[in-house]
């Protein structure tokens, strides 16, 4: 499947943090031809194992997305909501949303609150209900909603909700297609609940006990107008090899190995230094007695907004680098 088609398939699933089952089912079907066994742990991590006799290598990409959870339905049928993961009130007004049961609506702002004063408590979801009773035939308190925006390609760019981190799930799937010969014991883990605290990666890494861990995720792109230069990566400049973010300082041995592989295979790459944020690497590297950990990132504009933007060639480069590391000769 092509990158856009894979994104469309994964985004058609309802998968905010804690409700990743539909995404996992789709990925299980897509990954099955390329691995030896697939298991699901207690938290819901999907663990795709390609058996080998060499060092254990864990690749992690999180399946969950940010979302909204209904906390109150008022007398007129409007829905108040809390956040699942990081939401900015300035990104949401006018955004179409979708519930797991197919109910659709739009986020709006109450009254005449000035944009500079917007907070989540000023926002609500309108599902077109006549009143509270009508709304409750469509949605219940505790139901979750996700962005209902449509992925598309324009030129070399992919526009889509939830590139964070479904695009990394695509990277792992595309890498699995490329792996032809590896003695390493490979675990491709599609993790849960990253957006609410790296929870799935923590339990998956503890259970697998890998020698090496590679978190695949998005990173901010430093090419927007008046960029604050809080990050180093730029969309279109290749696979971003993570050096550090606020959750991890990647092991120099892994950073060097990824750079060497990229150079040897003519994979375009760049350095990923981020002053904020974090990925599953933050949980993996602290597992048990420690794990040699690194990261491969897709530079992405407008992370956590209803339409994020990435470069297709970067996605391809990241998949090639994942496959290269999977097949590399690694020290146990």
Annotated active-site residue in 114, 156, 194, 308:
194
Task: Pick left, alpha or beta for residue 162 (phi over 0 → left; psi -120 to 50 → alpha; otherwise beta).
Answer: left
- Separation of alpha carbons 153 and 27, rounded Å: 22
Measured distance CA(284)–CA(107) in Å, rounded: 36
- Residue 114: Cβ-neighbour burial (10 angstroms; 0-12, 13-18, 19+): exposed
Q: Do 303 and 220 meet the contact criterion of CB atoms below 8 Å apart?
A: yes
CA gap 107, 97 in Å, rounded: 7
H or E element in which residue 1 lies: none
96's CB contacts (< 8 A; 6+ apart) are 104, 105, 106, 147, 148, 149, 306
- Is 194 an annotated catalytic residue? yes
Query: How far apart are the C-alpha atoms of 272 and 297, rounded to whole Å?
Result: 7
Structure tokens at 104: 């659709």
Strands, E assignment, the chain: 37-40, 46-50, 56-62, 67-73, 79-84, 96-99, 104-109, 123-126, 144-147, 152-154, 157-160, 185-191, 212-220, 239-244, 269-273, 292-301, 308-311
Q: To 5 degrees, how large is the angle CA 210–CA 212–CA 214?
A: 110
The structure tokens 């490979």 sit at 186
Q: Which residue has the tokens 């606020």?
A: 246
Q: Where on the phi/psi map is residue 185: left (φ > 0), alpha (ψ -120 to 50), or beta?
A: beta
* Active-site residue list: 194
């Amino acid at each position: 499947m092509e990158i856009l088609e894979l994104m469309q398939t994964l985004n058609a699933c309802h998968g905010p943090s804690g409700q990743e089952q539909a995404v996992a089912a789709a990925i299980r079907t897509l990954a099955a031809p390329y691995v030896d066994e697939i298991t699901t742990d207690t938290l819901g991590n999907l663990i795709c194992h390609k058996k080998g006799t060499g060092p254990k290598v864990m690749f992690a990409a999180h399946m969950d997305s940010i979302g909204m959870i209904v906390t109150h339905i008022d007398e007129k049928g409007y829905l108040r909501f809390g956040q699942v993961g990081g939401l900015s009130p300035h990104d949401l007004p006018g955004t179409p949303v979708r519930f797991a049961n197919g109910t659709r609506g739009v986020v709006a702002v109450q009254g005449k609150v000035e944009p500079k004063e917007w907070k989540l408590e000023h926002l609500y979801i309108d599902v077109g209900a006549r009143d509270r009773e009508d709304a409750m035939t469509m949605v219940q308190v505790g139901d979750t909603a996700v962005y209902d925006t449509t992925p598309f390609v324009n030129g070399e760019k992919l526009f889509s909700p939830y590139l964070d981190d479904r695009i990394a799930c695509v990277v792992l799937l595309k890498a699995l297609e490329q792996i032809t010969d590896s003695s390493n014991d490979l675990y491709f883990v599609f993790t849960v609940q990253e957006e609410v605290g790296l929870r799935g990666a923590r339990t998956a890494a503890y259970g697998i006990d890998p020698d090496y861990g590679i978190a695949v995720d998005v990173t901010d792109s430093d090419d927007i107008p008046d960029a604050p230069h809080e990050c180093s990566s730029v969309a279109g400049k290749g696979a971003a090899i993570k050096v550090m973010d606020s959750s991890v300082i990647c092991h120099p041995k892994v950073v060097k190995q990824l750079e060497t592989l990229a150079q040897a295979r003519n994979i375009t790459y760049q350095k990923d230094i981020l002053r904020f944020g974090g990925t599953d690497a933050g949980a993996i590297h602290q597992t048990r007695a420690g794990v040699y950990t690194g990261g491969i990132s897709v530079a992405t504009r407008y992370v956590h907004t209803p339409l994020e933007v990435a470069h297709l060639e970067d996605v391809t480069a990241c998949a090639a680098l994942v496959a290269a590391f999977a097949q590399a000769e690694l020290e146990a």
